[in-house]
Structure 1
Amino acid sequence: MAVENNFINGIQERGYIKIGLPPYNTPPAYYIDPKTKELSGYDVDFARKLASELEVDVKFYRNSKDFNDLVRRVGAKEFDLAMGKLGTTYERLFNAFPVQYMKLRHAILANRQSLEKNDLRSGLPDFGDRLKNSSIRIGRMGGSIWDTEVRRVFPNAKIIKFKDWGEVKEALFEGRVDAIYRDATEIKAIVYQDPNLAIQYVPILFEDELTMTSIFMSESGKFGFSDFLKFFIDREWGEIKNDSAIFEEFQDYYNSLSKFQP
């Protein structure tokens, strides 16, 4: 008698895989293309290719409240998988099971004058430790891993929560915070958009702080689908990608952000 995989069989009998995505636009990972009005990005392409290997269609669900809610919902079996640059934290492991497919460095974009006022000069040999133990004001996005990670990395900082990434960036440029915190792909993208920002703001990447970025699933998904997913990542994705690989593969996208294209 053949042993069946009930999780995969259920997807195939339904005829489509249910993928939960965050309710944001985060190019080049996942976003509504302004030209085509279609959902696009490398996470979207990943999901569609995965569906093709299962010989089913894919349906995307983008109605979660935030990143944390998305992970909770997949753990409650509302989707088959949840993805979209989802970092792994202890809190999320209470709700769902991860399979890693990226690792991204942590980064901040800081106001140069604010750093100098706090006696934080990048030339100092202990700059990294001094920065992490400083009391600067850092903006972060609510409902994300940065809620917990920024407090872990910057235990003495004044942490200010904002609704979304747009509000976080606005707070920095309006002087309401000294720095903003997220992964390297998001921080460097801001500088790509306007290289002149480098006059007033400095991006700082932390080589010793990495986010384990994962695809999440329920307990039944862990036992029924994690091996298939890991094989797919190895065969189709090629490796657990870091932010340098993302920049290299999507260099055309990042270059297109610049306001100063020839």
Structure 2
Amino acid sequence: MAATQPDESLATTPLVGDVEEILARKSLVVAMPGFASPPFFGGSSDTLQGIDADTSQQLADALGVKLVLDRSSPTFDGAVALIEQGRADIVVAKLSRTLSRARNISYSRPYAQLSHALIINRVRFAILANGRQPEEVVRAFDGELGVIAGSSFEYYARNNFTKAKVRTFLTWQELVAAVREGHVDAAYRDDLEIKRLLHEDPSLTIVARSVTLTDLTDTIAIGVRRGSPHLLEFVNLFLELSGRDKPMTADELVNRYLRKA
């Protein structure tokens, strides 16, 4: 899928962002981080692929306008900032719903629901446990916990693991390497990313183990500019009519998308 990039006027002039203005402008500006996060989005701007890439194009088609992608942000929070600043209409980017973000943006209904999960260095975890049961160690985790900077899991880590020493990393690849090499005790993300990691690199299980926290969920939705009620209603109706209103789980995503790769 190919999409145009935002021109200079869109980057400097705040957008109104509701449906009437989008139709007059003849473009839907979608914020999406510049990195890849399969099966949601990946590839280059010329050959963008994935669930969120398809959704973005289909939303633009349903509105009868061209799709303009803004992939200038290196983080999820940066993509959210683009709609907060009026530089984009929506965020379609495996966006987690958090209370902190909900102060400034609106969310569509969820189209995916994942569980929280950890990938833990076996040696460091054994030292940290010091004879305690694994469940006890996880629930009262006070080791070094790695997260991706500017992601929802940085927020979750500081709220769900208040005793942990939270360390941020710029990319998932750097964080996984830190777990493998024993530079942090564990990495914190959703169970889809952990399943995908172990599917792509089974050798990681030699030095690390995964733990799924089934009582903690990460719901994925489309972010919409606050003050755009018509656009939010349109996005929700699109999700309903296209059959995306029943949130997909990590296992469904793995079976449907990742095992085909």
User: TM-score range, shorter-chain basis?
Assistant: 0.7 to 0.9
State the distance in 2 between where 1:130 and 1:192 align.
26
1:17 equivalent in alignment to 2:24: no
1:103 equivalent in alignment to 2:110: no
Q: Is the 8 A contact 1:187 1:203 kept in 2?
A: yes
- CA RMSD after TM alignment: 2.1
Partner-residue secondary structure (3-state), 2:86 = coil
| Aligned CA distance change for structure 1 residues 157 and 44 (closer, same or farther; 3 Å) | same
1:57 equivalent in alignment to 2:63: no
Aligned to 2:170: 163
- The counterpart of 2:129, out of the listed 105, 119, 125, is 119
State the distance in 1 between where 2:174 and 2:181 align.
10
Q: Which runs of 5+ in 2 are unaligned?
A: 1-16
- The counterpart of 1:215, out of the listed 197, 222, 226, is 222
State the distance in 2 between where 1:144 and 1:70 align.
10
Q: Which runs of 5+ in 1 are unaligned?
A: 1-5, 257-262
Partner-residue secondary structure (3-state), 1:138 = strand
Aligned to 1:260: none
Q: Is the 8 A contact 1:67 1:144 kept in 2?
A: yes
Q: Which runs of 4+ in 1 moved over 6 A?
A: none
Partner-residue secondary structure (3-state), 1:234 = helix
Aligned to 1:259: none
| Aligned CA distance change for structure 1 residues 135 and 9 (closer, same or farther; 3 Å) | same
Letter aligned with residue 138 of structure 2: L
Shift of 1:165: 1.4
TM-score, scaled to structure 2: 0.86
Shift of 1:154: 1.6
State the distance in 1 between where 2:34 and 2:66 align.
21
Partner-residue secondary structure (3-state), 1:18 = strand
TM-score, scaled to structure 1: 0.85
1:89 equivalent in alignment to 2:98: yes
Q: Is the 8 A contact 1:140 1:147 kept in 2?
A: yes
State the distance in 2 between where 1:106 and 1:157 align.
16
* Percentage of identical aligned residues: 24
